Chains A and B, each alone.
Chain A
């Protein structure tokens, strides 16, 4: 059995760890509330733009935008991969990366990754997937401008024919305990199911169809990526809070066990000492 002094050292160390994880849990909890609020606030825009795009696909514009044209064969697909910058958030990134590997296996096409978040980039480089762009170190309160680089690169590559499809992979925030990795198609715009405005009609465009559609569709891709980033941020903070809470609980359990072992060791030492004294005095008589 380890000596009482050694065990005391261990208890100290684990208590310190528990203090740190507890602090991280509380920081994550407060950031989580803000991140969740931000996702909810941003939902109106995402919902609005999704409705406009769905309507637009029902319309019969005289200008067929390339974002609506499906290509025969997808030779190369681009994936915008959103992960966190920091670790210590449970299985969040692992789950997202597992889904990305699965997606790549299912598709026979060549895959290139545009990465947002340090974790995903490091992983993709390690497994030898081509990373054509990378955005790292986005703040906890991201702005649209933070992701413009990644989104515009994807659009550019799609327009030039380098990518035939663009997908978006991120973790979707369900609730504090549940985050699900999700992959959605960005380009070409996936078909919607319900015709909300049936019949043969088209918009009036102002100033003209090319300008409006080019701008609007570009903006819609950017908005989707931005929204995915917000979701991912909310996931990150909740996953971290939960992970740190269970780490704190584990540390508390270990300290409890060690405390018992320590008491036993201390008592054993006292008993032994007494036995030695009694034996010594018996021998002296």
Chain B
């Protein structure tokens, strides 16, 4: 089966570099499944799960948003943050969500409010994803 090169990175570190047969990313307008030799695509990503399939291996990473560039031979994902379920701690995720809720409650003006709401949405999604992963 043909493969495509994949690079997933956040501003702080490299998350994944290697080949893949299939990749599913949380696009701004719904999930995007990408196979090798896809047409050039530039997409915004939202918070959600990124799934990279390579042989038997399926790498699942939670990203909080970012950008994806697809070329026929290479996919570059520039994520804002990226975490694997094994690196995440449920208690910490819950605490992060609580903190986001508190911040939302204490915000006053509209700009801050919108930011805090977005932050909370990401945190809630992150926690839900983690709980789902831990069950399996």
Residue positions of A touching B, CB distance < 8 A: 38, 41-45, 47-49, 51-52, 55-56, 59, 144, 197, 201-207, 211-213, 215-216, 219, 223, 226
- Inter-chain contacts of B7 with A (CB < 8 A): 44, 47-48
Residue of A at shortest CB range from B10?
A45
Q: Which residues of chain A have C-beta atoms less than 8 A from B77's C-beta?
A: 48
Task: Show 5 A/B contacts (Cβ-Cβ < 8 Å), sorted by A.
Answer: A41-B14, A44-B9, A44-B14, A45-B78, A52-B42
With A55-B69, A59-B40, A212-B42 given, is the CB distance from A207 to B78 under 8 Å?
no
Are B11 and A226 interface neighbours, CB within 8 A?
A: yes
Binding site for A on B (CB under 8 A): 7, 9-14, 17, 27-29, 32, 39-44, 67, 69, 71, 76-78
**Which residue in chain A gives the minimum CB-CB distance to B45?**
A206
Contact A51 B67 (CB under 8 A): no
Interface majority SS (helix, strand, loop, mixed), chain B: strand
Beyond the given A48-B9, A205-B41, A206-B41, please list 14 additional residue pairs across the A-B interface where CB-CB is below 8 A.
A42-B11, A43-B14, A44-B13, A45-B10, A45-B14, A48-B7, A51-B69, A52-B67, A52-B78, A202-B40, A203-B40, A204-B39, A206-B32, A206-B44
Residues of A within 8 A of B12 (CB): 38, 41-42, 45
Q: Provide the residues of chain A in CB contact with B67, threshold 8 Å.
A: 52, 212, 215-216, 219
B65 to chain A, nearest CB (A): 10
A49–B39 touching, CB < 8 Å: no
Contact A205 B78 (CB under 8 A): no
Q: Inside 8 A of A204's CB, which chain B residues have their CB?
A: 39-42
By a CB distance below 8 angstroms, the chain B residues around A144 are 11
Complex partner residue of A45 from B9, B29, B39, B40, CB under 8 angstroms:
B9
Check if A49 sits within 8 Å of B71, measured CB to CB.
no
The residue on B at minimum CB distance from A204 is B41
* The 5 A-B residue pairs with the shortest CB-CB distance in the complex, in nearest-first order: A44-B14, A206-B43, A44-B9, A45-B9, A41-B13
Nearest B-chain residue to A227, judged by Cβ: B11
Across the interface, name the chain B residue whose C-beta is closest to A37. B13
Question: Which chain A residues lie closer than 8 Å to B14 at the CB level?
Answer: 41, 43-45
